[in-house]
Amino acid sequence: MHQRPATSTAPAVPRTMPGTQMTALLETQDAVALSPQERHRMFVRYGASWWIASGDVYCEITVPDQIVKLDRWRRRLTEGALWG
């Protein structure tokens, strides 16, 4: 009798990126901060992902609900209040 291998339900491990690399991406505008305000610069959109600063490293945010929330936040901070 063969048993099926166990499948993992653990979330994917987020990728990380050195802060110097993210800074370079921000300077070339290949990445964009949540807002120009300093207190929001810890969140950065790069490619299809949001990233959060943690010390000298940026960690990818992998929770879909948080990604949607950050996209909405960015629109509010750059375009004003959204009523829909």
39-62 pLDDT, tens digit each: 888 999 999 899 999 999 999 998
What is the residue range of 64's domain? 16-79
Domain assignment of residue 36, yes or no: yes
Q: What number is the average pLDDT over the span 31-42?
A: 88
**Is the per-residue pLDDT at 7 higher than 70?**
no
Domain count along the chain: 1
Distance CA 23, CA 27 (A): 6
* Radius of gyration of the chain, Cα coordinates, nearest whole angstrom: 17
Domain assignment of residue 2, yes or no: no
